[in-house]
Amino acid sequence: MIMEWLLNIVYYVVPFLVLLGVLVFVHEFGHFIVAKKLGVSVSAFSIGFGKELWSKTDKQGTVWKLSLIPLGGYCQFLGDADESSTTEVDLSKYTEEEQKHLFATQKPIKKLAIAIAGPLFNYLFAFVVFFGLFFFFGSYDIPPVVSEVIENSPAQHAGIQENDRILEVNGAVITEWGDISREVSLATENVDLLIERNGEKIKLTLPLAEMDYAFDETEKPIKRRMIGIKAEAKRFNISKDTFDFTTAVKKSYFEVYNVSVMTLRGVGQIISGERSGDDVGGIIRIAEMSGDISKSRGFLDFLSFMALLSINLGLINLFPIPLLDGGHVIIYLLEIVSRRELNAKIKEYLFKLGLGFVLCLMVFATWNDIKHLITRWFE
Structural domain range at position 326: 2-38+106-136+313-378
- For residue 291, give the amino acid letter: G
Total residue count of the chain as it appears in this document: 379
Number of structural domains found in the chain: 2
Note whether 17 and 112 are same-domain residues: yes
- DSSP 8-class letter at 13: I
Judge whether 31 and 44 are in contact, CB under 8 Å. no
Q: Within this chain, do residues 10 and 130 fall inside the same structural domain, yes or no? A: yes
Average pLDDT over residues 97-125: 94
Give the separation between CA 302 and CA 309, rounded to whole angstroms: 11
Quick check: 181 and 208 in contact, CB under 8 A?
no
Residues contacting residue 205 through CB under 8 Å, at least 6 positions apart: 158, 190, 191, 192, 193
**Statement to judge: residues 151 and 129 lie in one domain:** no
Domain final position from 176, 209, 238: 238
Catalytic residues: 28
The three-state secondary structure class of 224 is strand
CB 277 within 8 A of CB 364: yes
pTM for this prediction: 0.83
Q: What is the pLDDT of residue 221?
A: 61
Rounded to whole angstroms, the Cα distance separating 320 from 4 reads 43
In a domain, 278, yes or no: no
Alpha-helical segments (H) within the chain = 2-8, 14-37, 96-99, 108-137, 154-158, 177-186, 245-272, 283-296, 299-317, 325-338, 344-378
Whether 244 and 146 have beta carbons less than 8 Å apart is answered as no
* CATH number, residue 209: 2.30.42.10
Q: Are residues 121 and 232 in the same domain?
A: no
* Mean pLDDT, residues 141-162 taken together: 87
Closest by CA to 288, choosing from 20, 69, 11, is: 11
Evaluate whether residue 253 is within a structural domain.
no
- With H, G, I as helix, E, B as strand and everything else as coil, classify residue 339: coil
Q: Which of 23, 116, 24, 129 is nearest to 72 (CA)?
A: 24
Cα–Cα nearest to 334, from 101, 73, 108, 47: 108
27 and 149 co-located in one domain: no
pLDDT tens by residue, 234-253: 554 566 555 788 988 998 99
Average pLDDT of the segment spanning 349-353: 90
- Closest alpha carbon to 163 in 200, 126, 109, 124: 200
Per-residue pLDDT of 17-52, as tens digits, reads 999 999 999 999 999 999 999 999 999 999 998 899
Residue 179 confidence (pLDDT) above 70: yes
Single out the residue of 159, 135, 134 nearest to residue 146, CA to CA.
159
Helix (H, G, I), strand (E, B) or coil at 146: coil
Q: For residue 213, which of 228, 198, 203 has the smallest C-alpha distance?
A: 228
Q: If you average pLDDT over every residue of the chain, what do you get?
A: 85
